[in-house]
Chains A and B, each alone.
Chain A
């Protein structure tokens, strides 16, 4: 190929590579003190916080609904936050899973004693996952304790909690 085409090819590759590389970035491992502010109601956006783990089959199954929701609602004021409860020794596994699935949203690995943080989120939650928090910008939070049955359930939750 001639030099001009080669140059174009290089530019195109760089343009494509950078966004792809960004999705493989390192996973932030945080404690509850760092996570807590992210669970506060935002001034203007609905926050959807999903607690999951790579080893949790129902969690992985419902993530496809979250992926679709994150894409569908990308132009609306909805923030998706995903909190992995995988062991910190499995960090790379989580990173690979996340890069492969390309779900839009923030992803963290929570490393902290559940006995200290579970009750701060929900005293009736006995620690089983999946678990999803729905934090509207200006009304009361709610939760889904267990897996979502289908995409419609998630879609309804989002639509019902978006500020009119």
Chain B
């Protein structure tokens, strides 16, 4: 091989390897998400593939302690009641470290889901690997997936965390409606404030 070709080849390999390291961790819209197998509050393990009739999935990273998660709790329950029959179930995942945030322990998850009669699975991400792979940074943080697990929407549930009554823009519901109509999602990413995910302290 000519020296010039070798140089270019080496440069291409270097650039390709840099592309992988420079990539921000977590999913972008259009990426295909991974499935998982996480423990639910009823002791059983849940994966997305368990939903044989789903048209898609509303994956929401949420928890017990965060005021934003609490403010959205009822809205998340209502989302499941409205969209699960239409093929888009809510799958809630708590990624927080229960050592530093005991309110987010498995036992407290069980307690809360019973108190509020959660109609959706409330899964514990014990190793926090699912949150890391998805790129979730806060609670609540939504990932709307289609049937093939392609990420169609990331971000906020709506435009007003504090008050459901004052909501003007239901970002997530608009995206689901578009998918149900077989249309592309027009606003596929939105921002919201939330509590940072409580990562475990590594040694």
Contacts and interface: CB of A to CB of B under 8 A. Distances in A.
A28 to B, nearest CB: 18
Contacts of A146: 196
Nearest to B136: A126
A127 B192 contact: yes
Nearest to B162: A87
A113 B160 contact: yes
A88 interface: yes
A30 interface: no
Interface string A123-137: 011111110000000
A85 B162 CA distance: 11
A125 B194 CA distance: 11
A126 B137 contact: yes
B92 interface: no
Contact of A113 (B66, B138, B159, B197): B159
Contacts of B137: 126-128
B196 A87 contact: no
Contact of B193 (A58, A85, A89, A124): A85
B144 to A, nearest CB: 15
B132 to A, nearest CB: 14
A128 B195 contact: yes
Interface string A115-149: 10011000011111110000000000000001000
Interface residues of B, number: 23
Contact of B191 (A53, A56, A88, A126): A126
A127 B67 contact: no
Given A126-B138, A127-B138, A89 B159 contact: no
B156 interface: yes
B190 A115 contact: yes
Contacts of B156: 114-115
A89 B166 CA distance: 13
Contact of B138 (A53, A124, A128): A128
A129 B194 CA distance: 7
B161 A87 contact: yes
A85 B138 CA distance: 14
11 contacts: A58-B196, A113-B159, A114-B191, A114-B193, A115-B190, A115-B192, A127-B192, A127-B193, A128-B138, A128-B195, A129-B195
The 10 closest A-B pairs by CB, nearest first: A128-B196, A118-B191, A128-B138, A87-B162, A113-B159, A126-B137, A115-B190, A55-B67, A127-B193, A114-B193
Given A58-B196, A114-B192, A126-B137, 18 more contacts: A55-B66, A88-B162, A114-B156, A114-B161, A114-B193, A115-B155, A115-B156, A115-B159, A115-B169, A115-B191, A119-B191, A126-B138, A126-B191, A127-B137, A127-B138, A128-B138, A128-B194, A128-B197
